[in-house]
Amino acid sequence: MNLLLNPFDRRCSRQHDFPEMQGAYPWVGHLPAIVRDLPALLQRAEAMLGNHFWLDFGPAGRMLTCAHPDAFALLRHRDVSSALIGEIAPDLMGGTLVAQDGEAHRRARDAVKSAFLPKGLNQARIGELFASLLKVQVQQWRDMGEVAILRETSDLMLKLIFSLMGIPARDIRQWRRKYKQLLQLIIAPPIDLPGLPLRRGRAARSWIDTRLREFIQDARAHAKRTGLLNDMVGLFDQSGQDLSDDALIANIRLLLLAGHDTTASTMAWIVIELARQPALWEALTEEAQRLGDVPIQQEDLARCPVAEALFRETLRVHPATTLLPRRVLQELPLGGRHIPAGTVLCIPLLHFSRSAHLYEAPEEFRLARWLQRTEPIRPMDMLQFGTGPHVCIGYHLVWLELVQFCIALALVMQKVGVQPRLLSNVEKGRRYYPTAHPSSAIRIGFS
Ligand code: HEM
């Protein structure tokens, strides 16, 4: 943590009566610590300053970070706005539904949400489609004997989300690279020069949008074709003049991003945890053997408690979305204090996900906390997907594809008597922001 914080910044300042965390660097603020060791930064700030403190996100400005899990409910508050997301990353999130409030948000969300509910997923036979793609991919890993896991899961997730959208999955590596550059726009310094992240991110966006525009034209030319992209184009076209092609492109770009980046990270963490904890692998292979094949329908998931617990516990320990930014529209009470209108908030999902207020022994990876529970899953149990009007659209899809993935992996590897083995240091190179993921250098062997 030492050099991640600026040792010369020892100010004890306050803003709106909330303390500011020390250790900010000029221009980039606390970003080095946020990107590389967010859990330690949040723990240290909470221990020094209490539940509410300002963190400096460099180009995105300061945010009042609310470290107590009670702040999770703010995501459901009608006086808390998501528009800030579009202001922080206008090139990436501007015009997308995640950065909209109220009626505009509802209309854009309605155009896609039913396709992602269990009924929509079953109707589109997504389970069958994914099961065969997943089996082919893990067989390839087995034959390769060793893989750079994050690169592999990113390519796999892009293939899956493309097939779900009904878009031809060509140039997958190129798409992965472009999305990686696009994500840098969230933390890019506002300097538009060749070779710098802002210029590269904008070029990546233009590359992506040109292709999406072609897919939309193609969808209009083949209106009878099935697939989410065709459905979205149809719905947007029927909805009147106010939804332009730019809004359609922005939302498809968002779906491709949301549908692959977070899930690829979680999938990579699942393999890493299976590789470093042989007892997990044993429990999973027993379950896979009992099932005999990869589950296809949402209803089949109840027969895979170990795979489901693995998906939930991996996300709890390694949440893929670590922080959510919001703006307060009207003065709000919080923890006996008042947050003035206009305040920019940071809701740290990662901190709640590992909080002793919510979980017994939060630092331990325990499947038992899911296997032994008898009550149904509550919003707080899936806090890694947010809550309120913007709660993740892809929750049921992720649940299905990650359980399918676990079972496919266990069946394919077990058939030839191999299992995942960790070949790299896990702590080195992991990132927590703008999205969280293990290092792309981590290699997994199958032997
Ligand atoms: C492990 C995987 C995933 C995690 C942890 C995750 C997490 C989240 C979170 C925390 C939010 C709330 C954002 C906010 O309130 O500002 C969100 C929203 C969203 N997610 Fe996911 N997500 C995942 C996978 C997916 C997938 C697979 C899709 C779709 C294919 C998807 C589509 C979306 C969309 C469209 C939104 C915006 C919803 C809205 O603003 O109404 N996500 N996700």
Q: Please state the rounded mean pLDDT for residues 373-389.
A: 95
Is the distance from CB of 334 to CB of 74 less than 8 angstroms? yes
∠ Cα 34 85 65 (to 5°): 45
Asked whether the predicted pLDDT for residue 73 surpasses 60, the reply is yes
Ligand 1 atom with least separation from CA of 266: 1
Nearest CA to ligand 1 atom 18: 392
Ligand 1 atom nearest residue 97's Cα: 40
* 3-state class (DSSP) for residue 87: helix
Atom of ligand 1 nearest to the CA of 113: 35
Decide: 393 in ligand 1 pocket, CB within 6 A. Answer: yes
Average pLDDT over residues 336-353: 95
Summarize pLDDT for 318-328 with one digit per residue, the tens. Answer: 999 999 999 99
Question: Ligand 1 centroid vs 9 CA: distance in angstroms?
Answer: 36
115 lines ligand 1 (CB under 6 A): no
Q: Does any ligand 1 atom lie closer than 6 A to the CB of residue 398? A: yes
The set of residues, in sequence order, having a beta carbon less than 8 Å from that of 403 and lying 6+ positions away, is 295, 301, 304, 307, 308, 311
Ligand 1 centroid from CA 384, angstroms: 9
Cβ of 160 less than 6 Å from ligand 1: no
Identify which of 385, 395, 399, 403 to mutate to test ligand 1's pocket (most ligand atoms within 8 A of the CB).
385
Query: Is 390 near ligand 1, meaning CB less than 6 Å away?
Result: yes
Ligand 1 atom index nearest CA of 105:
41
Closest among 33, 31, 36 to 428, alpha carbons compared: 36
Q: How confident is the model at residue 1 (pLDDT cuts 50, 70, 90)?
A: low
- In ligand 1, the atom with minimum distance to the C-alpha of 325 is 16
For ligand 1, mutation pick of 392, 397, 400 (most atoms within 8 Å of CB): 392
Residue 16 CA neighbour count, 13 Å, CB half:
17
Pocket flag, ligand 1, residue 121 (CB < 6 Å): no
Reported as a single tens digit per residue, the pLDDT across 200-248 is 999 999 999 999 999 999 988 988 777 788 888 887 777 665 567 888 8
Tell me what pLDDT residue 99 has.
Answer: 97
Provide the 3-class DSSP secondary structure of residue 15.
strand
Beta bridge partners of 333: 338
Go through the domains of the chain in sequence order and give each one's CATH number: 68-446 (1.10.630.10)
What per-residue confidence (pLDDT) applies to 259? 87
Which of 393, 397, 400, 435, when mutated, tests ligand 1's pocket best, judged by the most ligand atoms within 8 Å of its CB? 393
Res 84 pLDDT > 90: yes
